[in-house]
A and B are shown apart, each in its own frame.
Chain A
Amino acid sequence: MNIVVLVKQVPDTATERKLTSDDKTLDRAASDGVINELDEYAIEEGLLLKEKHGGEVTILTMGPEQATDSIRKALSMGADKAVHVSDEALHGSDALQSAYALSRALGRIEFDLVVLGSESTDARTGVMGAALAEYLGVPQLTLADKVDVDGQAIKVQRLTDYGYDVVEAELPAVVSVVEKINEPRYPSFKLIMQAKKKPVEKLTIADAEIDAARVGLANATTETVDVAPAPPRAAGTIVKDEGEGGVKIAEFLAEKKFV
């Protein structure tokens, strides 16, 4: 089975994240880049499926040169090879433009399954899996916390408000995974060494036949009008519990008309 796992490099959530003041895009210089947390679950799921059904795991990343670090990390978890779409023309692409560009890159890769994290910690739009399935014209099996493949049939548990749906489809398909699906492995020393020799194919937008008029900040379908730090919350009242803590909260809630 040919499995492609999408990996996005995002700013570390433990650092202060910013948008640039000039074009209001992500300030990649301000924070360290790390693999989007949910993508680690996607990589793990891809590896588990490969271990069970055979085949290959290819990492697909779109992003600037520095995303190479995240690609190496993904390869050191055990993926076989990677494709890195990197082009200045992609700078400032919004979620749907990115989905379009990735769908073009996927058009060059033979795949049975595309696996990705259900959202990224930076933009958190949560639309990528759905938009990709739409562009690719393949079934959408998103928000999965369990994935089973049997020949050409795939079955997932899709998280819902009330529990989960069982969803079935035929491959090829797009699967997005949620946090609790598995426990991502740590790279072993041996795999880290091997990862350095694994092939990473670099693609420009021309290589991937991505239409330059459909990507990049100038052609974005959405515009960030302004950016400002959130106004600080007014300092609250903090008291030490001396036996009356609960009563004091009740008084606060009464004042705010919650009780």
Chain B
Amino acid sequence: MAEVLVLVDHVDGEVKKVTTELLTAARRLGEPAAVWIGEGADTGSAKLAEYGAEKVYVAPAEFNDYVVAPAAELLAKLAGDASAAAVLVSATPENKEVAGRTAVKLGSGVLTDAVDVSAEGVTEHSIFGGGTITHAKVTSGVPVIAVRPNSVPAEESPAAGAREEVSLELSDAAKGAKVTDRVVQEKGARPELTEAAIVVSGGRGVGSDDFSVVESLADSLGAAVGASRAAVDSGWYPNQFQVGQTGKTVSPNLYVALGISGAIQHRAGMQTSKNIVAVNKDPEAPIFELADFGVIGDLHKVAPQLTEEISKRK
């Protein structure tokens, strides 16, 4: 069986959940081979093997010193050497860029934001703010596919996870844009927005930069916190938490929208969520068209009661 390369997302050796989902999807297409960039492969490899990685290619941390191009050079080389059946990455903004450059190098095609991948390499996409479903495939060369987190349920399937160091001299072109500093902004203990199984978001209805009503509910559910564009534009919550067309796209198992009307701008970023709960004062708010469960009311009353009720049930 041909190798299917999976670019690993990890934070200092801790493998992200989306990578286990990609390894599961990769097994449908061939033999998963994980591609690890940077330190930490010693600790992370066990998890990759648990989810089906026959091989773990390891490239040095230097590859992270430049923007996107080294990862693409690495994936293109490995895909060529192994005659890979496909390359899978998570559909984060950065990895979609990696996917694009890799496909250019391979002279193949790229598909982004897949919400499913079949054994034949046919991908499913939810487009135009969730109103339309398409299926697509790459028709030229090694398919490069960016899969949205929370799309394919991860299943364990132990494999060898044999480590292989990659020796690759980066081209000068790949070193054009150098990362000279990394600035970590407040993250706290909450899960990452695009990966989280549960997301609680606040919008205009929150009414001020006091987002504690949203954060408390999120924390009671072990959820990530998101915000609508209206809330971010008002300066109530930082940019990187914006969910929507021009912000992050999330697809959690549960999405709780507090005081968000549900304009297309917002729906485009959350419509593929499996379960949607909404609280809004306005009975006409379009978010209720999406909601599996909705409460017409004041989020400042409903959300604290919900938080308390969840704590009671724990």
| A contact set with B: CB distance below 8 Å | 13-14, 16-19, 24, 37-38, 94-96, 99, 118, 121-131, 133-135, 137-143, 145, 155, 157-170, 173, 178-180, 220-231, 233-234, 236-241, 244-250, 252-254, 256, 258-259
Q: How many residues of B contact A (CB 8 A)?
A: 94
Q: Which of B105, B183, B277, B301 contacts A253 (CB 8 A)?
A: B277
Q: Which of B48-104 contact A (CB under 8 A)?
A: 67-69, 72, 92-94, 96-101, 103-104
B246 touches A38 (CB 8 A): yes
B104 touches A224 (CB 8 A): no
Q: Which of B97, B194, B290 contacts A127 (CB 8 A)?
A: B97
A134 touches B69 (CB 8 A): yes
Chain B CB within 10 A, most for which of A96, A166, A237: A96
A-side contacts of B187, CB under 8 Å: 162
B302 touches A141 (CB 8 A): no
CB distance from A132 to the nearest CB of B (A): 9
CB distance from B114 to the nearest CB of A (A): 11
B141 at the interface (CB under 8 A from A): yes
B279 at the interface (CB under 8 A from A): yes
Q: Which of B201-230 contact A (CB under 8 A)?
A: 221
B-side contacts of A14, CB under 8 Å: 264
29 A–B contact pairs at CB < 8 A?
A13-B265, A38-B246, A95-B110, A130-B68, A130-B101, A133-B101, A134-B72, A143-B93, A143-B94, A161-B92, A163-B185, A164-B185, A165-B67, A166-B182, A222-B136, A223-B139, A224-B135, A225-B134, A227-B134, A229-B131, A234-B292, A238-B295, A239-B296, A244-B305, A247-B305, A249-B293, A252-B292, A256-B275, A259-B310
What would 12 more interface pairs be, CB under 8 Å, given A18-B132, A245-B295?
Answer: A24-B134, A143-B97, A165-B179, A173-B177, A179-B247, A222-B138, A228-B134, A229-B132, A233-B289, A237-B293, A249-B306, A258-B275
Q: Which of B123-154 contact A (CB under 8 A)?
A: 126-141
CB distance from A134 to the nearest CB of B (A): 5
Q: Which of A134, A164, A167, A178 contacts B104 (CB 8 A)?
A: A134
A167 touches B67 (CB 8 A): yes
Given A179-B246, A230-B133; A245-B301 close (CB under 8 Å) = yes
A-side contacts of B297, CB under 8 Å: 240-241, 245
B109 touches A238 (CB 8 A): no
Q: Which of A167, A233, A246 contacts B177 (CB 8 A)?
A: A167
B110 touches A134 (CB 8 A): no
B-side contacts of A134, CB under 8 Å: 69, 72, 100-101, 104-105
Give Cα A134 to B279, complex, Å: 45
B-side contacts of A125, CB under 8 Å: 96, 100, 110, 112-113
B308 at the interface (CB under 8 A from A): yes
A167 touches B180 (CB 8 A): yes
B157 at the interface (CB under 8 A from A): no
